[in-house]
A and B are shown apart, each in its own frame.
Chain A
Amino acid sequence: GEDVEQSLFLSVREGDSSVINCTYTDSSSTYLYWYKQEPGAGLQLLTYIFSNMDMKQDQRLTVLLNKKDKHLSLRIADTQTGDSAIYFCAERGAYSGAGSYQLTFGKGTKLSVIP
């Protein structure tokens, strides 16, 4: 079965880089996602990476994928207080029919940014 693991908490100082790590078990995963959830809100898609890529960069965000170790990371450069949120890693997992795939989510990493 699929399983996605994340550490639950991360605390960084404003201006430092944050690195949020995730491991997954389904080696056939083709897409891996990072979502951000601010307090009281839904999940906001930050970025996704296709499994044939090692890295994807989008402004302050860098996603690194190590397929051999099934390890995904999200690096946030110059972390700001507005980055404080819960970050979810998700893998596209089992085919659920009718052209649809389910997502398997990690439990989320709560990032706290210290001013």
Chain B
Amino acid sequence: EADIYQTPRYLVIGTGKKITLECSQTMGHDKMYWYQQDPGMELHLIHYSYGVNSTEKGDLSSESTVSRIRTEHFPLTLESARPSHTSQYLCASSESELAGLLRTDTQYFGPGTRLTVL
């Protein structure tokens, strides 16, 4: 069972506000990810991290930024929220797990933050 948490679960905020979405995991996983999920259900990777002090941009360009100062914590920040940022944001973490002779890299997801920007 995965122990990965996201807060807040729901956030409604006005345009121009700075927001930080929190994600933390207690599994000691090195790798963490942020996905944006649009209303059509498709998931887009926006940021990921290999470990402390590592951050990389994902496939979908995003105006958000992330930081990884501690292994267990991977917050996502929007400096100035806009209505186009309205979406579901999902955080995930993974660790290589031995499955037979190979290692998987199974990702475990948090419950998500539904952000609405008015």
| A interface residues with partner B (beta carbon < 8 Å) | 8, 30-31, 33, 35, 40-45, 48, 50, 86, 88, 92, 96-103, 105, 107-108, 110
Contacts and interface: CB of A to CB of B under 8 A. Distances in A.
B112 to A, nearest CB: 5
Contacts of A40: 112, 114
The 6 A-B residue pairs whose C-beta atoms are closest, nearest first, are A98-B50, A42-B109, A43-B109, A108-B41, A42-B111, A105-B43
Contacts, number: 69
Interface in B82-118: 90-92, 94, 96, 99-100, 102-112, 114
Contacts of B30: 98
Q: Is the interface of A mostly helix, strand, loop or mixed?
A: strand
Nearest to B90: A42
B41 A97 contact: no
A55 to B, nearest CB: 16
Nearest to A108: B41
A41 B41 CA distance: 12
Contacts of A31: 104-106
A44 B111 CA distance: 9
A77 to B, nearest CB: 24
Given A41-B111, A96-B56, A105 B42 contact: yes
A98 B102 contact: no
Contacts of A86: 41
Most buried by B among A103, A108, A110: A103
B42 A108 contact: yes
Nearest to B54: A98
Given A42-B90, A42-B112, A43-B109, A48 B104 contact: yes
B89 to A, nearest CB: 10
Given A41-B112, A42-B90, A100 B106 contact: no
A45 B40 contact: no
A35 B109 contact: yes
Interface in B8-61: 30-31, 40-43, 45, 48, 50-51, 54, 56, 59
